Amino acid sequence: MLSETDRKLLRVAYDEALAGYEEGGCPIGSALARGDELIARGRNQRVQQGDPIAHGEMDCLRKAGRQTSYRDMTLYTSLSPCMMCTGTIIQFGIPRVVIGENQTFEGNIDFLRERGVEVVLVQDPDCIALMTRFIREKPALWNEDIAEE
């Protein structure tokens, strides 16, 4: 069950995704929080910065700066994380991830759960609609983002 804080912070991730879409990039957003305190927010910046590693979760974590621990944080992401972002979540010991949707990209939810991460999958209609629109409008850019031909 989503708390009011979860709903609010998932919306922050969605708003970041929408901003990325409006900038011509991949619409994937993220937020990092300790309880109800927003630590950082970010979005996929691959197109905007020409950086192949600047996925939404990675941008958010960069903006969070150095943390002594992530073990009391939740990462919110509009889309199920790829393997690179999944590995970073595990490496940093982030114990909880709230995912907007995995209908357009399955991601690595099982891998996260197998490693003890609590995963909350929302299937948010706004997240689904935005990614569906993006994939329809820019399939080549989407395939580049997920490293598929």
Kindly list the structural domains of the chain, giving each domain's residue range(s) and its CATH number in brackets, ordered by start: 4-146 (3.40.140.10)
Average pLDDT in the 44-62 region?
A: 97
Average pLDDT in the 20-41 region?
A: 98
Q: Quickly tell me which residue has 């997920």 as its tokens.
A: 146
Q: Give per-residue pLDDT as tens, 93-138.
A: 999 999 999 999 999 999 999 999 999 999 999 999 999 999 999 9
Active-site residue identified among 57, 114, 137, 144: 57
Average pLDDT in the 49-70 region?
A: 97
Give yes or no: 57 in active site: yes
Alpha-carbon torsion angle 138, 139, 143, 148, nearest 10: -160
